[in-house]
Amino acid sequence: MKVAVRATERVVGCKHVLLAGFLCLLSGVVFAQSQIPVSMADQRARSVTQVVLGILSYARWPVEPAQLRLCIVGPTEYTDDLVKGTTQATGRPVTVRRLLADNPAIAGECDAVYIGKLSSDERSRLFASLTGRPVLSISEADVQCTVGSLFCLRVSDDQVSFEVNLDSVARSGVRIHPSVLQLSRRKPAAP
């Protein structure tokens, strides 16, 4: 009888040792995953999301939408984090969806437009469809920031800044808080 008890104790003891070893191994894997550095692309995408949400939170539409509708138009580099959908600091939800540049729904179903790389014809048609509508536009790839877009992002490894096209702001029907306009005038810190 003692032989059977000792064999059972050894089996139970081995199971405990294996379980403890497995848990140690698993905790090492979890710890290693938490130590993986965030890639520069992910970091830039998160920074762009913060800047875009900041801009949106300082904008006022003639009729405030209960849920802000942000449309992404054209191929983009930094919207991976933004497309997950989010909530502004004010608690207002932001729904995000991608649309083609020629989609007629943009003018009526978007409160804000994040614009990626478009041909000059696509940009012209897009801005023509937005004329007279209170739509805030943010461009990712508008180097000159002269035609149509209210805000043009400047993305680097160190920071995300933006320029404001005051003429476009005046024509948009969307009011922008003066603090945001002042932020755009600040020069980035020298490295």
Please write the tens of the pLDDT for every residue from 72-113: 999 999 998 888 878 887 788 999 999 999 999 999 999 999
Instruction: Give the whole-angstrom CA distance, residue 40 versus residue 46.
Output: 10
CA angle, residues 185, 188, 191, in degrees to nearest 5: 165
Tokens read off for 144? 């000159």
In whole angstroms, give the CA distance from residue 16 to residue 24.
12
Q: What is the total residue count of the chain? A: 191
Q: Which two tokens stand for residue 184?
A: 């755009």
| 177 or 18, which is more confident | 177
Buried b or exposed e, range 120-132, using 16+ CB within 10 angstroms: eebbeebbebbee
Average pLDDT over the chain reads 80
pLDDT tens profile 25-58: 334 444 444 444 568 888 889 999 999 999 999 9
Q: Report the share of the chain in percent with pLDDT over 90.
A: 51
Q: What is the dihedral of CA 105, 111, 114, 115, to 10 degrees?
A: 50
Q: Which of 16-20, 52-56, 80-84, 121-125 has the lowest mean pLDDT?
A: 16-20
| Beta bridge partners of residue 139, listed in sequence order | 115, 152
* pLDDT at 191 exceeding the cut of 90: no
| Residue boundaries of the structural domains of the chain | 1-36, 40-185
CATH H superfamily, domain 40-185: Response regulator (3.40.50.2300)
Number of Cβ within 10 Å of residue 35's Cβ equals 7
